[in-house]
Structure 1
């Protein structure tokens, strides 16, 4: 059985036992979070409008972190204009425990 869930403006295909990095969630490590189910797949498929009624995905928060650094450079020729900036996107790592529905 698998499900399509939405969190942080993105959609993910999940199965029980899957470790996943999603946009940062306001939850403590070790706590459980529930994610809304957009589509439920397997033997009997169910499509939500917008979510599947009575279905949910339970996940455990493993920890928080920051992704790899992305460097942004700006350059304009002949005017000595150079800017360098970096960004590290925060994430939450979760473990999918079960799919109910």
Structure 2
């Protein structure tokens, strides 16, 4: 964990169903200047490391935010997202920042 992460008192925000949902939430929080961390949820199986290898992006992820930004983060994630925004995020998923910026310039 880097120094920035160590200075916060983290508070549980929610559990994302998968890596895709986590990345959408993380992006929305970071756009608003809120740091967040995600940790793969322990599903109580014998070898959760093996589960991560097999299921990869399908493992639920617990999301935590700095305690002093919790209310703001909660409001952000509870704001409805339009279908167009979801589609754009889905299309941008996995692209590099340079690819996304080049499309925005068009």
**TM (normalized to structure 1)?**
0.22
Larger helix share, 1 or 2: 2
User: Which one has a bigger Cα radius of gyration?
Assistant: 1
